Every structure is written in structure tokens, then in C-alpha cells.
Chains A and B, each alone.
Chain A
Amino acid sequence: MADPVALELSRLGSFDPAAYTLTRDSDGLYWARSAPKALGALEPDTGQAAARIALPYRVYNHVLAADGIVYVTHHTLTAEGFTVSVVDTRARKLLREIRGIAGLRTGLAVSGSAVFMTTTDVGKPGYLHLYRIDTATHELTELRRADSAGSCWLLSGEGDTLLLVRTPRPGRPAEAPGASDTAGASVASVERLDLVTGRTVGAQSAAAIAPLARRMGEPLIAGGEIFVPLQEEGGRWAIARLDQATLARRDFLPLSYSIQRIVGRHGSMLVYLDGPEPAFGPGMTLHFYDLEGRKEVKSVNIPFYLRSNPRND
């Protein structure tokens, strides 16, 4: 756990090495992948495992929706397409599998009374898909579909705000900022979506956010603002700070290190993980970034921290 006031890390316990997303339920338990095919809960006060729920396929990312219901993504293509497991963390059981999802997950977010998921086809015809899963009925609806054109969709949700980021995929030369694909949308852009229809109700192109943006990461929505991690042409890393209501750019924050994702914000302190160019290899480093001073004020290399603070459980 990163303490944004003391600028320190503390070790609560351990999950599976491939655990990526971590959520905290209303009872204070942390949930993450505890084994390749299991979602587990950790009691933070003791550091001990509090629950383990077996799932049909390997666990990748997950989100926690209302009433302790967790949605877990899988990467195994079945006869009925890709699947999502719906887990009741309070009853400690798998509720159901949602089937019929085209493509691999690229984004997953909760907003309003729904879970949203973006995917990319793994074969022809090469579409991007936006799905909505109603948390009351678990009904899956495809809201949008677009030609991938070398890009993918990321998602970010908070309250009633749902953002969709379109960014170039790796492995191909980056498109010029603001260039249009066959769907007529900007190759790099941030859009606010209607929570029922998935239609765009507000948009900002890469040109307006960061004219030299080459690619963008998953935004953080916090404190009435949106923070979009990005890399510019020439390789510089930065965070664009947008107004949550208008998507207008408020600030452009230069970073001293590369950024993989923003972990969170507390007041004027933003916490991010570095990568793909680690500051202090090997392994990732957690950086505390002061929004007022517009610079990193402390960095903690995670492997070094773990070696220096071995667990005693």
C-alpha cells in the first residue's frame, strides 16, 4: 500500500505473481488473483488469506461492482467466445459465466450501474468492441463496434463518468497525432460515453490534449479531474490533466520517468508506476508526484523495497 502523505510503502501480504488488479470490498478485504485459477481475499490487518474462490479459467483483470460482485476476465477462447466470470465475494462463490464476448479484453471499468468492457478481435475482421454488462441482470450488450485500424480502446470509470481512450497499438509505427482511421475517429482521443447507449457525449482529440502525443494510457478520474498518461513523439513522458466536466486541458505535467499506469491521487499527490523504461531497474518503481510542484518528490524501487522488507508471515 502506498501512503501518499508519508510517501511510504507498506507490505500488506502477497497474492499470485501475475495478480494485476486489486480491489477492496466494503468489509476492507483486498481481492486479487491468488492462484492462476482463483480469486482470493486478503485480510490487511493480519496479511492472511481470508477467502479463495476457484474459477473455470485463469484469472486476468477484474473490477468490483456494487454489492460485492466482481467481474473477472479470462483469455481462453471457448466455443462460445471469450468469457467473464461473475463472482459473489460475500457468498464466496461463482455466480455465473458471461459468454459470447468477441475479442480479448483491452479495457474494463465500472460506471453507474454497469460494467463496461472493451475488446479487440484476435482474428479477422479486426473490430474493436465495447460491451456493457448490466450489474442487476448480468446481461451483456454490445454497444459499439469499430474497425481497429491499428488502435485499441481503453476504459476508465468513476461514478457516472465513463471514458474511452483510443490509442495506437504497439508493434506498428505510430500514426500521426490526430490522423483519422476508417471509422472517422481520431486515432488517439479521449471520449466521454453515455452509460446506456455508449454514444460519445464529449470528446477531446490528441491534438487538443497533447499535440505530440504518440500513445496514451488508461486515465485516472479523481477529484473532478482526469489524468491521462501519455508518451510524446521523441519519447518524452507526461500526464495531461483535464477537467472532468469539459475534458478541457488544465495542465501538462512532465514526468522524469516513463509511466505504466497511475495508481491513485490523494490531494496534490499523484502516485504512478513506471515502465516501460524503468527508472531504477530491475523491476518497477513507484513514484510520488507532487501536482503543485509538478515533479516527483520520492521514488521507491519495488524489488528493492521487497528485499529490504521481507515478509514475516
Chain B
Amino acid sequence: MMRKVLVLAAAVLALVIFSCQLHDEEAQVVSAVETANAGAVDVLDLVIHAKAAQDFSALEDFLAEEDRDGELRALLAAEGVFAPPVQAKAIADYPGGPSFPTSFADGAFANGDVLLSRSSGTWTSNLMSLVLNKGYGHGGILYQNLASETDPNAGCVLSADLEGLNFQSYLEWQAADSIAVMRDNTSLGLADRDLTGVLYEMPFPYTCYSFLLPEFMPVTREDDYFWYCSKVPYRVYRDLGEDIENSAFYELGDPGGKWAELRDSLLYKVYKLYLTWSLPWWKWRQIPALADAQLRLVLGELVTPDELRWSAEKLEWIQTYGDDSPDKDWDD
């Protein structure tokens, strides 16, 4: 009897110890993932600001401190982060294709047009391109009432970048490789409305640029403080009652869906590297699975320019000016 009790007690003790170990490991994993999340967001933030200002000192300081083996630097270099800026082209310089109008006041555009661009040269146009490896990288909504035939620097495209919500001009947008024009095809009839009243509802004075929060969580659509470019047209339409996002675009439920192509993005690669650093005892299959889950979570919440470009029936594609390769990027 005594022996049985001892065996049982030993078994209970072993179970408790095992349970504690499990609990400890779980806590370690949670802590390691939190570290990876914060580290990856820090790096992406530094990259965006470094590229925008062409000042890499903060990023270099960070790498000197955190990346002594040079693994992260090698990854960033391979992704072109340190490459010198490309001279921005003007969209009118592209031969062939439709002629780009000289003003957003032109009849080729209308109130409520969602403008999407990709550029190799301007910092406004490539903030999201730094982390999305294909398709369009920038978006905004046209308030044609604010455009001008006589001043191409009139602020008429509402978007968001490192200055938070702001009005961008024709001249800034025309320095792009591609511009796709998408028109309101909902019942809102924005093309025939003066949109300035809509702006009244927007929380202008208290905005900041971001699409990733420190927990490697996406900025939500409801967040009135953090904005990124393509969230702006999305919110204008949504606040008026129309959801223009193609939420099925990335095929998140399909293991081989379009989302998987964003594994080639800087965002994914940096995150995966940080997971590898933070969870060295994990098996090789667990890290990609966690990175995939996080990528899908991010893409599920963000409204990317590509989700507006392929917005199903809500936005009608009108024209692509310049290089049309972003339109073809997602072709099978």
C-alpha cells in the first residue's frame, strides 16, 4: 500500500514538474515572440525613416548594437535598403500608352477617384513598397474641387505618409512610375459631389503615420490616430457607407493563396529572422508557420493599395498611366 502511495505521489510530482516545465516553456515562447515582434517593427520603422530622409545613421547605430554578426545587415542589403535613391521619373516620360494629363483638374479625373501609384524614386510613393514586394505601393483619394488647372502644386489628393494625413499635389504624384485611376462605382455618386464636407469628419489634427504597431500588429481601420496611405480612401468611402476593399484579394484562407507571394517581402523576411533569433530552440517548421500566421493576420487587417486596385465592383478601373507592370504583377 505504502509503495503504491509513493508511486502515485511520484507520478503526481512528475506531472507537476512537467506541467511547470510546459508552463515555463510557454511563457518563454510568449516572451520570445514579443521580443521578436518589437524588434522586427523597430527595424522596419528605422528602414522607412532612413529611406525617407536618406539618413541611415539611426539604422546604422541600431545595427551596430543589435546585429553584431551582420546577418540583418546582409538581409537589408540584399533587399536593396542601402541602395542609393533612384531619380524619380515623371509619369509623362514613359513612352507609349495614354498621355498623362497635366492636372488633376482635367476631365480625365473626377471627385472620389482612388489614385494608386508605384514609384522607384519618391519617398511618399514607396513607404509601403518597402514592405510589400509587388503591386502598388501608394494610394490616395482625389478631391478634384481642390485641384487647379493653373497650379499643379495645389493640394488635392488626401493621403497619409510620414507627415500623417496631408494633401498631396499633382506634381508629387506625377513623379511616379505608374498611376492607376479607380472611379467610384457605388451608389455614393462621389464623382458628382463636392467632397469637402466629407473631410470635416476626418480627424486631421491628431494623426501619425504607421501601418504596424510595436506588437507587430496591423494598424486597425478604426484607428483615428495612425494612418497609412491606402487606409485614407478606404475610410472616406467606408464612413460614407461603402466598403471598397477586396478582402478576398490575398486569398488568406488558401495555404497557397496570393498572400504567400508576400513571403518575398522585407516585412516577412525581417520578421522571420527575428523569430529565428528569439526562438533558437524551435524546430525549423514552427518558425515559418508562426511567420505565416502573422503575415496573414497583418494582411487581413491592412487595406493595401492592391486591395483597392482589385476592388471588384465597387471601384471601376479607368486607366493606368506609365509603366503598367503593377497591374501585371499579380497575373498568374
Q: Establish whether residues A281 and B200, one from each chain, have CB atoms under 8 Å apart when the complex forms.
A: no
Q: Establish whether residues A218 and B92, one from each chain, have CB atoms under 8 Å apart when the complex forms.
A: no
Instruction: Annotate A54-91 by CB proximity to B: 1 below 8 A, 0 otherwise.
Output: 00011011000000000000011111100000000000
Stretch of B16-24, B158-166, B249-257 that contacts chain A: B158-166
Stretch of B140-148, B211-219, B293-301, B308-316 that contacts chain A: B140-148
* A217 at interface by CB-CB < 8 Å: yes
* A245 at interface by CB-CB < 8 Å: no
Residues facing A in B190-244 (CB within 8 A) are 194, 196-202, 204-206
Please report the C-alpha to C-alpha distance between residue A18 and residue B54 in the assembled complex, in whole angstroms.
Answer: 18
Indicate which residue in B92, B103, B144 contacts A276 across the interface (CB closer than 8 Å).
B103
* B288 at interface by CB-CB < 8 Å: no
Indicate which residue in A21, A58, A275 contacts B103 across the interface (CB closer than 8 Å).
A275
* B271 at interface by CB-CB < 8 Å: no
Q: How far is the CB of B326 from chain A (nearest CB, A)?
A: 20
Indicate which residue in A19, A21, A77 contacts B165 across the interface (CB closer than 8 Å).
A77
Q: Establish whether residues A77 and B205, one from each chain, have CB atoms under 8 Å apart when the complex forms.
A: yes
Please report the C-alpha to C-alpha distance between residue A78 and residue B151 in the assembled complex, in whole angstroms.
Answer: 23
Please report the C-alpha to C-alpha distance between residue A105 and residue B153 in the assembled complex, in whole angstroms.
Answer: 10
Q: Establish whether residues A123 and B103, one from each chain, have CB atoms under 8 Å apart when the complex forms.
A: no
Q: Which residues of A contact B167 (CB under 8 A)?
A: 75-77, 104, 122
Q: Which residues of B contact A126 (CB under 8 A)?
A: 196-197
Interface size (A, Cβ < 8 Å)?
48
Q: Which residues of A contact B171 (CB under 8 A)?
A: 17-20
Identity of the chain B residue whose Cβ is nearest the Cβ of A281 in the assembled complex: B99
Identity of the chain B residue whose Cβ is nearest the Cβ of A56 in the assembled complex: B163
Q: Which residues of B contact A217 (CB under 8 A)?
A: 149-150
Q: Establish whether residues A276 and B145, one from each chain, have CB atoms under 8 Å apart when the complex forms.
A: no
What are 13 A-B contacts defined by CB distance under 8 Å? A17-B171, A75-B166, A76-B165, A77-B165, A77-B204, A80-B205, A122-B196, A171-B110, A171-B147, A276-B102, A276-B103, A282-B93, A283-B102
Name 18 extra pairs, CB < 8 A, besides A79-B206, A282-B93.
A17-B90, A20-B151, A36-B123, A58-B166, A61-B153, A75-B167, A79-B205, A104-B167, A123-B201, A126-B196, A170-B149, A171-B111, A231-B149, A274-B102, A275-B102, A281-B99, A283-B90, A283-B102
Measured CB to CB, the residues of B under 8 A from A are 88, 90, 92-93, 99-103, 105-106, 110-111, 122-124, 143-155, 163-169, 171-172, 174-175, 194, 196-202, 204-206
Measured CB to CB, the residues of A under 8 A from B are 17-21, 36, 57-58, 60-61, 75-80, 104-106, 120-124, 126, 150, 152, 154, 169-172, 215, 217-218, 229, 231, 260-261, 274-276, 278, 281-284, 303
**Complex A-B, nearest 6 residue pairs according to Cβ-Cβ distance, in ascending order:** A123-B200, A171-B144, A170-B105, A275-B102, A217-B150, A75-B155
